[in-house]
Structure 1
């Protein structure tokens, strides 16, 4: 009984030993070829990664322009149309940028994905537009202030000139407040909105309007016209020629 068990175990061992022997012989004979395949595979992966990085560097300027134009909102088709490449490449690029900058995306009603990249300027505009400005009481221009702005009437030679009036307190305070606000030579959107007694979102919508200086002059308590700088995103008093 024991001899039959030993004989069966020996045959089972031989059945396992033969495939293992053939595998060892195959590896010894072809290990150089297998090693070359592994090296080629790793090299191909590195080359593909390098090509992707070079392509991404060329796409970055297009991506940055779209982010500024669309206030941080972008879709794969927008990038593909602007850059003239495939939609799959655009989606892969946006996925990598979303992971890099922590952007969010949602599925639109049309079935596509919309990516949101929040920059500092976009966040500032959102915060400014979300804070309504309280209505300030209108500041009437006094007769004395109007008389200072108008040229004095000619006086007859035989009459004594009238005594000069001291500058009005209201006009002086307005000038002092404006000087304090213009410490850096300009105002930000929320500061100008408070000065004009309007909402910050109203200033944001009108800032690129050609009639913006005249509109601000009509609402400014000191009759000053303001202009918007696209470079600094600030508002500067417009000097009259």
Structure 2
């Protein structure tokens, strides 16, 4: 690197360093003045805030009175006329209250801003105006309540009214040849029940009775007596010599 290049870099650094040095010297020499100015501005803002809060305390009764009289509806002009102060201060005051109480705003036809504050009395009047007539409400309730309050009709036991009937069997099933039914030389309980035209449970109850062969003979379409085998759990026809 040549001497000219080093010299140019040094001059550029001095150009930046000199203003910074003068600024530091100026701040060191005048820091008390700057600190005093900052404290003065801060104190002035605190004083302004205090005066504003004091003024708001004086305006609050007027604001509350207008809210009660107008059912929560108020404009900056109403507040300015009632309190006899500038409209800008009234608008600033209402903006502060709207933020504090969550009021809604709307623009009137003349372009002015309207603030709506919801109070208990305002809400009650809204609900009263939207409540239906009591006579209509009571009539509707009674009309829909009577069917539910009426006693239910007595239930009839269909099982008691309907006598137990044997299973329906067609004529073809009852007149089947015995040879077709006795394919394996015996009948199971359900097959015998169909042949005798009775329930399968009836055959189950009477199969161990001594008079089961005679009872089955009276119901068999061919007059055949049947006996039950505990070993095979099946029913066999009784030969004439055995009966």
Pick the TM interval, shorter chain. Answer: 0.5 to 0.7
- What is the Cα deviation at residue 107 of structure 1? 0.8
Specify the SS of the correspondent of 1:114: strand
Within a 5 Å distance, the mapping from 1:40-51 to structure 2 comes to 40-51=40-51
Within a 5 Å distance, the mapping from 1:55-66 to structure 2 comes to 55-66=55-66
Tell me which residue corresponds to 1:23.
Answer: 23
- What is the Cα deviation at residue 2 of structure 1? 2.7
Structure 2 residue runs without a partner (length 5+): 140-243
Instruction: Give, in whole Å, the separation in 2 of the partners of 1:2 and 1:54.
Output: 73
Within a 5 Å distance, the mapping from 1:214-233 to structure 2 comes to none
Instruction: Give, in whole Å, the separation in 2 of the partners of 1:52 and 1:86.
Output: 14
Tell me which residue corresponds to 1:102.
Answer: 102
- What is the Cα deviation at residue 136 of structure 1? 7.3
Tell me which residue corresponds to 1:113.
Answer: 113
- What is the Cα deviation at residue 116 of structure 1? 0.1
- What is the Cα deviation at residue 131 of structure 1? 1.6
Specify the SS of the correspondent of 2:71: coil
Tell me which residue corresponds to 1:52.
Answer: 52
Instruction: Give, in whole Å, the separation in 2 of the partners of 1:12 and 1:96.
Output: 54
Instruction: Give, in whole Å, the separation in 1 of the partners of 2:12 and 2:63.
Output: 65
Within a 5 Å distance, the mapping from 1:27-176 to structure 2 comes to 27-133=27-133, 134=136
Instruction: Give, in whole Å, the separation in 1 of the partners of 2:138 and 2:3.
Output: 109
Cα deviation 1:58-107 (Å, max 9, x = unaligned)? 00000000000000000000000000000000000000000000001011
Instruction: Give, in whole Å, the separation in 2 of the partners of 1:72 and 1:22.
Output: 61
Considering only CA atoms, is the larger Rg found in Structure 1 or Structure 2? 2
Specify the SS of the correspondent of 2:106: strand
Specify the SS of the correspondent of 1:31: helix
TM-score (norm: length of structure 2): 0.55
Of structures 1 and 2, the one with the larger relative CO (CA 8 A, separation 6+) is 1
Note if contact 2:71-2:121 (Cα within 8 Å) is conserved in structure 1: no
Within a 5 Å distance, the mapping from 1:192-203 to structure 2 comes to none
